[in-house]
Amino acid sequence: MKCVLVALLLAIGMAGSALAAPADVETRRLLARAVSTASPLQLDSQDRQWLQQRKVLLLGSSRPDYPPFEINISPTDYEGLSADYAGLIAELLGIPVEIRRFPSRHAAIAALRDGQIDLLGSSNGFEAADAQLSLSQPYADDLPVIVTREGRTLKNDTDLTDLRLGMVDHYLPSETVRSLYPKAQLSLYRSTLAGLAAVETGEVDAYLGDAISTDFLIGKSYQGTVKIDHFCRGPAGTFSFALANDNPRLRRLIDMALARITESERLNILRRWTSGNTSLLLERHLSALTAEEQAWIDQNPTVSVPVDAALAPLTFNDAQQQPSGITIDLLKQITLRTGLTFKLIERNAVQTMIEQVARGEAQMIGALGYGAQRQTQLRYTRPYLVSPRVLVTRSQAPWPPQSRGLEGQRIALLRGSPLRAEVQRQHPKAVLVEVNNPLGLMEAVANGNADVAYSSHINAKYYITHVFKDQLRIATVLGDDPATAAFAVAPDQPQLQAILDKALLSIPPEELDQLINRWRISTMVSDSPWRNYRTLALQVLVLSALLLAGVVFWNSYLRKLINQRTDAQRALQAQLALSRGLLEQLRQAKDDAERASHTKSTFLATMSHEIRTPMNAVIGLLELALEDSRKGRCDTQALQTAHDSAVDLLGLIGDILDISRIESGHMTLQPEATDLVELVRSALRVFDGNARVKGLRLHCLLPEGPVWVLADALRIKQILSNLLSNAIKFTDRGEVHVSLSVEPVTAGSSVQVQLCVHDTGIGIGSADQARLFSAFAQADGPRARQGAGLGLVISRTLANLMGGALNLQSVEGVGTKVSVELQLPTCHAPTPVEHAAPSQGGESGPLNILVVDDYPANLLLLEKQLNTLGHRVTLAENGQAALALWQAERFDLVITDCSMPIMDGHQLARSIRMQEHEMALPACTILGITANAQTQEHERCLASGMDDCLFKPVGLSALKAHLPQGQATSITPQPKTSGLNLNELHHLTQNDDQLVRRLLQQLSQSASEDLAALRGLGSQPDSDAVRAVVHRIKGGAKMLKVRGVVKDCEAIEQAQARGVPTDVLRLQLETSLQTLQRELSDALSAIATSN
């Protein structure tokens, strides 16, 4: 409720003051992500009255941004760390805050002095130096830091002599900076981003800025190129809100609001707008260093540290031979906190490092375990790593040993290890094998020089994983006291010990754990063959010498062994390759199954919502209509709304089927001769009423005259309908403009078509435009639930299937333009089909219709629909009963459900067509009706002999459009044509009558042969034989463009591909061939007469 109140206050404030901003000042909306957990301030009546008179607080900002304090990347919003605090102040004081963004920081400060704004965020010592301004209580720390390029380090106490120093022009007063670094060359920049870029490119040597913004931008844009080198030696400051001195009441109220913000809220805001180094930003210094400790740092700025490159993951050399590891990262953290630099000296043994520190050749050891004897030689810091002690054995070695445990075993230990005395006490008969470093422990066991090795878990796990995989394993954990790692210094260096302890204490435990865990899974150390495989190499050399000496005597025997070994290795490699392949297949199958499961879950969840929403309206409104009907009332509005919801649901199901066909690759196009101009006009006629209802103007710009192309008219109209529907739906005022442009392509046989729909609606934000072309995705906003989000996906996919593209351009609040570009082949206008003249009786008379369905509700619905249309109806509940009625009575039309018991609709249609053929009866119209709205089902209906197929639900208009026209039972059916086009034949032969006559004679002979071959197939022919005959007939028919015969041939081929019976289709092809023979005979007679 608080958020709603604040939003309303902000909206009222913006509405009241939007006109007051100068032309060069932007008005922005406050976007605050923090919500206060405290109740609003209890103000006295004078303060409340004063705030009510103010109505709104004006907060100043400036260009360019000062992230993360002030961010204006959105065209309308002001966000960031300062914005979050401003939002909390608005919530606690109960007054909206409006943003004024000025062209520069200096302009914003001038506006604050002049009273154009009330307060200015992200203010520090720069604004405090202005005598006319004062600062509120602080809300963030201002810790000055020095930034340099990666690889360059400056001393903490350096005065930057002769160095080029960059800084934002409004961060600190120039006089303050020059007093800190008098010998530096100061360059000013407008933004932190520009200053860091100058460091990266070498334009300046260092950059001075606050820790929060600097760390934020380094993490965002300059990771790996620049770094925070050290904290500035100047005093720390704070960030506050700046106010004019003549406004003490507002300052007091701002201070009261800031005081109510809890520490947890402040920490959450800081974490939201920092890169994760929160501890670094909250604490600038360590626990206070003593004067002696600070003096020690000043006298010893560089500390020498011996490290062992075989102590991974604590210390090792990476692929570039640079020191890396947990200890190295810790030393970098200490450098940042203390200013100390560390000189690393590589050594290959722990004992050597201890001796070097004892002799004063080095000042500290980077990683060393605790030991009572060592504490007399060294001073230890607090440990920074704890790891269990483990026992390492070979992978094949049994554990525990079956006989006497470790008695008599060879145990590998680090030379000088504190565990030596304890191991000797517990296992007096064991043989101790001393090595220099943890890698030597692993090598001793792997090479057989030792049976087991004492090691820390972190060292053992690392080397077993990366070097000795399948060779060594961790057998058990030893005791309850874990191994530790700490820094160790010489006994005469207590100040260094204290400094290191304080530095370690300043690193929070979670940050230390994150640093250590990163190296637990880090990449392997540098692959130094001699260091890693020195012992193995020596063994290979000795074995090679022995083999060379014995080859003279055992040549043939060794060759046999070598051959056997080679065969075994090949067999093993083949087996391993097979195993890897099987594992990869298993992983791929698992991923595919998980993706399928996720897709299914997403689809079901979406469909559950999209289907239940209109279904809820249908059921609820029909229930209310039933209640009204019992009371003698008729709620027409409820019925109309229920009908509209059902139509929307049907459209959704159609879109789902289109998406299913698209994703399964079954979406196909049906090109035909299409007049684009008339197609666009017909679509506009459909939507003209919708536009008029909303008061919209629907304009169009079309070419003059028809434009005939070869294209799928249904799919083009579907695209245009989707675009028009969206345009009208999301436009409340203005107009929708449709344009069609057609340009010929250079080749001349095709045209470039551009179809545009341009509206003045609500528009689409840039962030939402990319998501709109994903299934079920919609733009955010108050109309996000208007539709399922499938229209644009289907439209773009259909455009791509046609070899074109769909492009969207939109500006939020202005409108949207969607253009479809297609390259389509041109064609001639089709020859008009001559229809029989309508009967003189005027309107068509009633038809005698047989309706077949096994579901009583469907029978009742169809009966009432057909009675409403004025036709006689006979009902049958299955195909067998319907066939008996058809045999006993003449029907003009049969409407049958496709799926029924006893005899389904397909069997009924085939039986009727067979009997019509056998008894030479005129064909009645058969319409199938089914709920399976798939292309395959429609083709199956046609293959069964039906004239057409309707998909449930079927409305009155759709049903009426598919009924035959004419008087009932007395209409003489029009003879079927073969599709022979004599005009096309004359065109091909250039009106050569002799050539036309010869072609017609040859075609007539071929038709007779084809008809004989078709009849010779029998009642149950072989599918290959049918395919061969139909292919031969189709080839000749296509050559002369006999479209009716070609269509029947293609229907048989498609039915065979889907396993559908072709008996009825073969009868239709036989009829088409007979018709073709008759038309050829008539044509030959006409030519003979004309000659």
- Cβ contact 196:168 at 8 Å: no
Axis-axis angle for helices 1063-1090, 1043-1057 (nearest 10)? 160
What was the pLDDT predicted at 833?
Answer: 45
Q: One-letter amino acid identity for 195?
A: G
Non-local (6+) Cβ contacts of 963 within 8 A are 847, 869, 871, 893
In the sheet with 323-324, reading across from the earlier edge strand, the strands are 310-311, 315-317, 323-324
Q: Are 349 and 415 in contact (CB under 8 A)?
A: yes
Q: What is the mean pLDDT of the chain?
A: 80
Q: 610 and 652 in contact (C-beta within 8 Å)?
A: yes
Q: Give the distance, in angstroms, between the CA of residue 626 and the centroid of all CA atoms in the same chain.
A: 47
788 — pLDDT class (breaks 50, 70, 90): very low
Task: Give me 444's structure tokens.
Answer: 């001793």
Helix (H) or strand (E) holding 315: strand 315-317
Contact 1048, 1068 (CB under 8 A): yes
The reply to whether the predicted model has a pTM over 0.85 is no
> Under a CB-based contact definition with an 8 Å cutoff, are residues 68 and 81 in contact?
yes
Q: What is the pLDDT of residues 290-331, one digit of tens each?
A: 889 888 988 998 999 998 888 888 888 877 677 888 898 888
Beta strand 140-142 with 310-311 is unpaired
Greatest mean pLDDT range, 92-96, 606-610, 777-781, 833-837? 92-96
- pLDDT tens digit sequence for 69-97: 999 988 889 999 999 999 999 999 999 99
Share of the chain above pLDDT 70, in %: 80
Q: Which of 115-119, 595-599, 793-797, 965-969 has the highest mean pLDDT?
A: 115-119
Give the 3-state DSSP-derived string for 1017-1030, with helices as H, strands as E and coil as C. Answer: CCCCCCHHHHHHHH
Domain boundaries, the chain: 1-143+236-284, 389-481, 669-825, 848-961, 982-1090
| Amino acid identity, position 1061 | P
Identity at 732, one-letter amino acid code: D
Strand partners, 1086: none
Half-sphere exposure for 978 (CA within 13 Å, toward CB): 27
> Each residue of 547-585: pLDDT tens digit?
787 777 777 788 888 888 888 888 888 888 888 888 888
pLDDT digits (tens, 9 = 90+) for 924-935: 899 999 877 677
Nearest C-alpha neighbor of 445 from the set 368, 402, 390: 390
Summarised one tens digit per residue, pLDDT across range 1015-1034 is 777 767 777 788 788 877 87
Q: Which residue has the higher pLDDT, 1084 or 650?
A: 1084
Weakest-pLDDT range from 467-471, 630-634, 927-931: 630-634
State which CATH number among 3.40.190.10, 3.40.1180.10, 3.40.50.720, 3.90.420.10 fits the domain covering 389-481.
3.40.190.10
Contact (CB, 8 A) for 409 and 452: yes
Burial of 500 (0-12, 13-18, 19+ CB in 10 A): buried
CATH classification of 1-143+236-284, choosing from 3.50.50.60, 3.30.1490.20, 3.30.420.40, 3.40.190.10? 3.40.190.10
What tokens appear for 523 in the block?
């990449």
| 368-375 contacts at long range (C-beta below 8 A, 24 or more positions apart) | 368/485, 368/486, 368/487, 368/488, 369/418, 369/456, 369/483, 369/484, 369/485, 369/486, 370/418, 370/484, 370/486, 371/417, 371/418, 372/418, 373/418, 374/416, 374/418, 374/488
Q: 423-427, 482-486, 517-521, 732-736: which range is least confident on average?
A: 517-521
pLDDT at 223: 77
Q: What value does the CA radius of gyration of the chain take, rounded to a whole number of Å?
A: 44
In angstroms, the CA 219 to CA 230 distance is 17
Residue 836: pLDDT above 90?
Answer: no
Q: Of the ranges 65-69, 160-164, 544-548, which one carries the lowest mean pLDDT score?
A: 544-548
Task: Write out the H or E segment, with its range, that includes residue 367.
Answer: strand 364-368
Q: Output the six-digit token pair for 520.
A: 């637990």
Whether 657 has a pLDDT exceeding 60, the answer reads yes
> Is the pLDDT higher at 623 or at 63?
63
Evaluate whether 938 touches 1055 at the Cβ level (below 8 Å).
no
Going by pLDDT thresholds of 50, 70 and 90, the confidence category of residue 982 is low
Name the residue with tokens 């922005």. 28
**948 or 664, higher pLDDT:** 948
pLDDT, position 452 = 92
Residue 119's DSSP bridge partners are 59
CATH of 848-961, one of 3.90.1300.10, 1.10.240.10, 1.10.3720.10, 3.40.50.2300: 3.40.50.2300
What pLDDT is stored for residue 29 in this prediction? 94
Mean of pLDDT values over 1075-1089:
75
Domain 669-825 has CATH 3.30.9.80: no
Asked whether the predicted pLDDT for residue 140 surpasses 60, the reply is yes
Tell me if 253 sits within 8 A of 135, measured CB to CB. no
Q: How confident is the model at residue 915 (pLDDT cuts 50, 70, 90)?
A: confident
pLDDT at 101: 96
Average of per-residue pLDDT across 931-945 = 78
Amino acid at 1005: Q
- Asked if 502 contacts 289 with a C-beta cutoff of 8 angstroms, the reply is yes
- Model confidence at 728: pLDDT above 50: yes
Token pair recorded at residue 867: 């009675």
pLDDT higher at 415 or 1043: 415
pLDDT band at 171 (very low <50, low <70, confident <90, very high): very high
Mean pLDDT of 112-134: 93
Least confident among 444-458, 671-685, 986-1000: 986-1000
Distance of CA 582 to the CA centre of its chain: 30
**pLDDT at residue 15, as a whole number:** 39
CA distances to 52, 208, 445, 1022 from 62, in Å: 27, 20, 67, 84
3-state secondary structure 730-752: CCCCCEEEEEEEEEECCCCCEEE
Residue 496 DSSP SS3? helix
Helix, strand, coil distribution of the chain in percent, nearest 5: 50, 20, 35
Measured CA distances, 1026 to 716, 949, 1055, 1069 (Å): 36, 26, 12, 12
Common-topology check for domains 1-143+236-284 and 389-481: yes
Q: What φ, ψ does residue 906 adopt, rounded to 5°?
A: -65, -45
- Confidence band (pLDDT; 50, 70, 90) for 537? low
Q: What is the DSSP letter of 923?
A: P
Quote the pLDDT of residue 644: 60
Nearest one of 264, 253, 273 to 38, comparing CA atoms: 264
Give whole-number Cα distances, 1028 to 774, 1008, 1015, 1017, 1064, in Å: 45, 17, 14, 11, 18
DSSP state of 191: S
Q: Give the mean model confidence (pLDDT) for residues 198-203.
A: 91
Higher-confidence residue of 456 and 1025: namely: 456
What's the mean pLDDT in 358-380?
A: 85
For residues 58 and 111, give the distance between their C-alpha atoms in angstroms, rounded to a whole number.
Answer: 11
Which band of pLDDT confidence, cut at 50, 70 and 90, is reported for residue 936? confident
Structure tokens at 120: 């200015």
Q: How much is the pLDDT for 68?
A: 92
What SS3 class is residue 62? Answer: strand
Binning pLDDT at 50, 70 and 90, where does residue 914 land? confident
Q: Are strands 133-135 and 144-149 parallel, antiparallel or unpaired?
A: unpaired
Q: What are phi and psi of 875, to 5 degrees?
A: -110, 145
